[in-house]
């Protein structure tokens, strides 16, 4: 695999062993909230206080969790492969803290907040940024309210052009910890396959789009990935 072009797509499952809950593990609820209430523009318009407090909770949680062996294994894979792109649906920072570089966060990030006026994102992880009160931006003359820098359902994922280009050109496409429910991320494996890539899945259980994979490894990412990565890096090609 060393000389091949590799794209990895991760989902909430890769962070599950670090203690961050996924969506689907809990009857479609995210930390006891309906996804429509906390992860849509309509939810923000209806009750911004609830949505703000929800994401402030997710942001504070980043201080309590650490990368697990699956995050570390992907950082090792990146070091060993010439052409590598890591795309994540996750909004946490565990890939970066596990050593991965240049991670493409297609659904946004928790460490940044976005100005509702200008649309600019700013890094806001000081202790004074973590409370339940709304925060304002530092980019506008008259400071505007900040919103979570998250791609909600119904909004356009980030860096799609770069993602499609990488997927169309790759030789190997690996998905880790994703249920295959959320589009367009779930459709990337079909694009990779159509373009001739070998498709590989590492997931706790069979996802919705199981048929799209050439190679399937069912189990916990933190237990499976370190061994798989060692094997891939010792492959001849």
Per rule CB under 6 A, count of chain residues that contact ligand NAD: 27
User: Could you tell me the smallest distance in angstroms from the CB atom of residue 61 to ligand NAD?
Assistant: 9
- Cα→Cα distances 165→4, 102, 103, 171, Å: 15, 16, 15, 12
| Given 7, 9, 20, 104, the residue binding ligand NAD (CB under 6 A) | 20
Please tell me which residue in 107, 123, 181, 217 is annotated as part of the active site.
Answer: 107
In whole angstroms, give the CA distance from residue 192 to residue 112.
30
Among 7, 221, 228, 229, contact with ligand NAD (rule: CB under 6 A): 221
Whether 58 and 75 have beta carbons less than 8 Å apart is answered as no
**Which x/- pattern, by CB under 6 A, does the window 25-54 give for ligand NAD?**
-----x------------------------
Q: Which two tokens stand for residue 62?
A: 């980043």
Residue 205 engages ligand NAD in binding (rule: CB under 6 A): yes
Gyration radius of the chain over CA positions: 18
Whose CA is closest to 112, among 41, 58, 71, 157? Answer: 58
Q: Given the structure tokens 């399937």, which residue do they identify?
A: 216
Contacting residue, 1, 6, 9, 24, with ligand NAD by CB under 6 A: 24
In the residue annotation, 107 being an active-site residue is answered as: yes
Q: Enumerate residues 64-93 that contact ligand NAD by CB under 6 A.
A: 89-92
Residue among 8, 12, 81, 135 that touches ligand NAD (CB under 6 A): 12
112 or 178: CB nearest ligand NAD: 178
Footprint of ligand NAD on 170-199 (CB under 6 A)? 177-179, 181-182
CB hemisphere CA count around 233 (13 angstroms): 17
- E-strand spans in the chain? 5-10, 29-30, 33-34, 83-88, 104-105, 108-115, 121-123, 146-150, 172-176, 198-203, 215-218
Q: In the complex, what is the shortest distance from the CB of residue 3 to ligand NAD, in angstroms, rounded to a whole number?
A: 27
Q: Least distance (Å) from ligand NAD to the CB of residue 153?
A: 8
CB of 217 to ligand NAD, least distance (A): 9
Buried b or exposed e, range 183-220, using 16+ CB within 10 angstroms: eebbebbebbbeeebbbbbbbbeebebeebbeeebeeb
Mind telling me the catalytic residues? 107
Binding footprint of ligand NAD on the chain (CB under 6 A):
11-13, 15-17, 20, 22-24, 30, 89-92, 107, 177-179, 181-182, 203-205, 207, 220-221
């Amino acid at each position: 695999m060393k000389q091949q072009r590799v794209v990895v797509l991760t989902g909430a499952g890769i962070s599950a062993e670090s203690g961050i809950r996924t969506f689907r593990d809990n009857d479609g609820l995210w930390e006891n909230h309906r996804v429509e209430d906390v992860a849509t523009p309509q939810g923000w318009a209806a009750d911004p206080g609830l949505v703000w407090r929800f994401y402030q909770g997710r942001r504070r949680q980043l201080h309590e969790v650490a990368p697990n062996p699956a995050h570390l294994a992907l950082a090792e894979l990146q070091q060993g492969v010439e052409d590598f792109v890591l795309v994540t649906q996750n909004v946490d920072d565990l890939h970066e803290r596990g050593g991965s570089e240049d991670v493409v966060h297609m659904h946004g990030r928790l460490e940044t907040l976005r100005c509702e006026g200008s649309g600019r994102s700013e890094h806001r992880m000081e202790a004074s940024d973590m409370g339940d009160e709304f925060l304002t931006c530092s980019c506008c003359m008259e400071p505007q309210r900040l919103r979570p820098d998250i791609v909600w359902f119904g909004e356009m994922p980030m860096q799609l052009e770069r993602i499609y280009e990488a997927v169309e050109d790759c030789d190997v496409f690996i998905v880790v910890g994703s249920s295959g429910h959320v589009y367009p991320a779930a459709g990337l494996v079909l694009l990779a396959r159509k373009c001739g890539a070998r498709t590989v899945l590492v997931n706790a259980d069979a996802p919705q789009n199981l048929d799209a994979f050439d190679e399937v490894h069912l189990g916990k990412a933190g237990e499976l990935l370190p061994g798989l990565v060692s094997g891939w890096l010792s492959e001849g090609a």
